[in-house]
Amino acid sequence: MDFLNNKVILAPMAGITEKVFRSICKEQGADVVISEMVSAEGLFYGAKATMDLMKFSEYERPIGIQLFGSDPDHLARAAAFVQKHVRPDFIDLNSGCPVPKVVKKNGGSALLQNASLFQKILKAMKKELSIPLTVKIRSGWHKHEWVDTEFARIAQDCGAAALTVHPRSQTMGFSGHSFWERIAEVKKTVSIPVIGNGDINTPSDALKMIEETGCDSVMIGRGAYGNPWIFSQIRSAFLGKSISPVSAQEKLDMALRHLLEFSREYGEQCALKEMKRHIAWYIKGMPGASQYRDHIFRAQSLEILSNYISILREDASDSRRLLED
């Protein structure tokens, strides 16, 4: 398990990177995938929903399970439990989540305000683990009051195998742009692999991040929405190969497959609730997409949803035929 040499990694995204989407990204070239964040407290109390978040298939390996929390003992016990019973390839500590529900309990990016707690947590987790422990941080709590290099050093000293940097502050949420120069600073500070993250939406963004920051690998989050092909495209770009565009038909075929696999995994009601946004992402930019988007969000059954995808697919093949004639 290494994080060097331009690996292309799927970011952990709560509510998005469940098993089906991760498997699609893996198939489309993601070198490494990571679970949605999992609460150490939830694990501690044996919550079923928390256990379900950690299900993965062997096909997805190498896979990391990401834990969040703020109690060193609970996080260490959670890490030991996950290592033994879930058997991922590595465990990642979330030190970047900005959402109030998490930071109110001192987890996620709130750890960036407490270096000694961060250190205690890492030491406690590391002691329990024989698989690698990695860490994902934001660059600080307040914009321009960066603590990333300090926290990177602590992570390295505590034995972290790699560090992901999303160079925004907690207060920025997802607004503005990420400060890639912070990734460069972190890379200069530590010798463990540094994974750059934030606002990579195209293969050229990935090339640019590697060039500007010297980071060892890249992590893609929102850029994979409706676009799992971004992983193989970035891999091609790294190898200097040309990048083949993805046709509307391929996108719609994938949308349909994603819908069916999701429904098989989680049931029809869950698929109806969760898959609408994925379908909207797949069709983004296609002719008539905004009109279909409204229909899709109003759809009351999976059959209706898949019919809309089929209609769009027919439209796409008709316009392709017209272009070819």
For ligand FMN, the binding residues (CB under 6 A) are: 11-16, 36-37, 66, 94, 96-97, 136, 166, 197-200, 220-223
Tell me whether residue 61 or residue 222 sits nearer to ligand FMN (CB atom). Answer: 222
Q: Does residue 143 sit in helix, strand or coil?
A: coil
What is the crossing angle of helices 230-238 and 203-213, to 10°? 50
Tell me whether residue 60 or residue 199 sits nearer to ligand FMN (CB atom). Answer: 199
Element holding 68 (H helix, E strand): strand 63-68
Q: Which of 25, 97, 158, 215 is catalytic?
A: 97
- For residue 92, the minimal CB distance to ligand FMN (Å) is 7
Q: How far is CA 18 from the centre of its chain?
A: 10
Tell me whether residue 126 or residue 166 sits nearer to ligand FMN (CB atom). Answer: 166
- For residue 256, the minimal CB distance to ligand FMN (Å) is 23
Taking CB atoms, the residue at the shortest distance from ligand FMN is: 221
Tell me whether residue 71 or residue 205 sits nearer to ligand FMN (CB atom). Answer: 205
Tell me whether residue 128 or residue 205 sits nearer to ligand FMN (CB atom). Answer: 205
Distance CA 226, CA 1 (A): 28
Q: Does residue 170 sit in helix, strand or coil?
A: helix
- For residue 287, the minimal CB distance to ligand FMN (Å) is 27
Neighbours of 32 (CB within 10 A): 24
Listed in sequence order, the DSSP H helices in the chain are 19-27, 40-44, 48-53, 72-81, 100-103, 115-128, 148-157, 180-189, 203-213, 230-238, 248-266, 268-283, 289-298, 302-324
Asked if 34 and 63 count as a contact pair (C-beta separation under 8 A), the reply is yes
Residue 270: active-site member: no
Asked if 194 and 148 count as a contact pair (C-beta separation under 8 A), the reply is no
- For residue 36, the minimal CB distance to ligand FMN (Å) is 5
- For residue 79, the minimal CB distance to ligand FMN (Å) is 16
Q: Does residue 285 sit in helix, strand or coil?
A: coil
64 phi, psi to nearest 5 deg: -110, 150
Task: Give the catalytic positions in this structure.
Answer: 97
